[in-house]
Amino acid sequence: MKYIEKSISCDKEILDIINYIQKVNPDVSDIIQLLGDKNISFKKANTTILHLIDKDTAAKYVSLIKNDLSKNMCYVAELNPGFGILTRELLKAGVPLIHLYESNLGLHKILEIICTKYPEKLKLISFKSNLFGITRAFYDDKATKKYQDSFKAIESKNWEDETYMQIIGACDDANLFTFIIQNLIFRNGFMFYGRPVFYIAILPSVWNKYNILTSLNKYTYTKVMFKLMFNYELLGTLSREAFIPWPKKKQYKRNPTILSAKQNYEQLYVIKLEPKADIYTQLSSKDWIIFSYFVRHHMQKRCNRVIPALEKWIPGCGIKLIAKDYTIYTQFGDLTPTQILELFKEFKSWPDYKESHFIESMKASVGAHNEFEFLNE
């Protein structure tokens, strides 16, 4: 797909967007000018970066999050603020200072104008990469350092303290939760300086994927980690049409897929997502990394049986597991996330654990840091 570089009269999608803006936000003429500017590029094929264009939707967004957000606004970060429509509504709601992270440098001009109108209330931070959209590049050391440097001015906090940053934005990336989970496991990215909280608009399919654990194809490694490591809440819904670029419709043959896609075309879910403050009372930071491998390895197939799987690492351990009420038929898919965590603690407590082949296998896997295995589970 090409970037949108032709005049607006030559592009039906842009004309449709302009007509929509004139209907829902007629006083924002600067947006229409920007959409017709050949120097502003909105990549049709990449809907990961979403920009809000409807002020009524922006007001609804803020109404969904403001009560909780107002409890702690020590460092409010709006990702991809775009045209500043949500920014204005956040200021109206009483947010004292908003840090704007916009990766599209072509939009900085309009954001600079807004910053001038609200001195000492807005800070525009130049960052060339989308903080919600570098899931694969993140595993490069240089990308990691660059990512964390963007937050280095923030005061770090102890993990169990209140959140150090409040992140607001919208993302159309199906791998977003996977990326955030990886941040937490390795304590980098968003998690490097403390515990953040996210107030984000996401695809309904992403939310549904992480809240349905019973299906054979749905109960996977990332769902287990998500349930154990995060508190989460669905706050409300927004119109997908209020965000650009608009998604491209595809043809699906299966009814469940059709229903899921239809929901994605029509809505975004606003959620609150916050890492649990007490996760390090369960396991140490290092042990969470080890546990993540334990889960990923054994949840490759939901039907993997517990006793035979662990017997491969520590021969003869089945007797200990039977004493804990496991049977030779117990599958990993039969266990809740909490039960899987307790199984790992039991496994790690055995004297033979430190000399087991599991340690070698884990070190080889974690050392390789294979992001594609993580993202394409």
Q: Are 272 and 310 found together in one domain?
A: no
Q: Is 56 annotated as belonging to a binding site?
A: no
Does residue 375 lie within any of the structural domains? no
Q: Are 265 and 184 found together in one domain?
A: yes
Q: Are 162 and 89 found together in one domain?
A: yes
Q: Are 92 and 223 found together in one domain?
A: yes
Residue 219: HSE in the Cβ half-sphere, 13 Å Cα cutoff: 18
How many structural domains does the chain have? 2
d(CA 101, CA 115): 13
Query: What does each C-alpha distance from 94 to 90, 101, 119, 121 come to in angstroms?
Result: 7, 19, 14, 10
Name the strand (E) or helix (H) holding 123. strand 122-126
Q: What is the pLDDT of residue 31?
A: 66
Q: Are 124 and 198 found together in one domain?
A: yes
d(CA 335, CA 2): 47
Give the structural domain span for 322.
Answer: 283-368
Closest CA to 129 of 120, 117, 138: 138
Q: Is 102 annotated as belonging to a binding site?
A: yes
Does residue 140 lie within any of the structural domains? yes
Last residue of a domain, one of 256, 279, 302: 279
Q: Are 262 and 289 found together in one domain?
A: no
Does residue 373 lie within any of the structural domains? no
Q: What is the pLDDT of residue 267?
A: 96
Q: Are 175 and 243 found together in one domain?
A: yes
Q: Report residue 194 as tokens.
A: 């403390």
Domain CATH code at residue 251: 3.40.50.150
Q: Are 211 and 358 found together in one domain?
A: no
Q: What is the dihedral of CA 255, 260, 264, 266, to 10 degrees?
A: 60
Does residue 75 lie within any of the structural domains? yes
Q: Are 113 and 223 found together in one domain?
A: yes
Does residue 187 lie within any of the structural domains? yes
Q: Is 52 annotated as belonging to a binding site?
A: yes
Other beta carbons within 10 angstroms of residue 117's beta carbon come to: 11
Does residue 377 lie within any of the structural domains? no
Q: What is the pLDDT of residue 251?
A: 59
Q: Are 238 and 347 found together in one domain?
A: no
Does residue 1 lie within any of the structural domains? no
d(CA 135, CA 172): 13
What DSSP character marks residue 357?
Answer: H
Q: Are 182 and 327 found together in one domain?
A: no
Residue pair 199/269 in contact (Cβ under 8 Å)? The answer is no
Last residue of a domain, one of 255, 279, 303: 279
d(CA 19, CA 279): 49
Q: What is the pLDDT of residue 6?
A: 40
Q: Are 214 and 323 found together in one domain?
A: no
pTM of the predicted model over 0.95: no
Does residue 4 lie within any of the structural domains? no
Q: How many residues does the chain have?
A: 377
Extract the residue ranges of the chain whose pLDDT is less than 70.
1-11, 28-47, 128-130, 133-148, 212-217, 250-259, 367-377
Q: What is the pLDDT of residue 113?
A: 93
Last residue of a domain, one of 279, 303, 335: 279
At CA 296, angle to CA 292 and CA 300, rounded to 5?
Answer: 170
Q: What is the pLDDT of residue 227?
A: 96
Closest CA to 274 of 193, 132, 165: 165
d(CA 96, CA 75): 10
Q: What is the pLDDT of residue 121?
A: 98
Other beta carbons within 10 angstroms of residue 220's beta carbon come to: 20
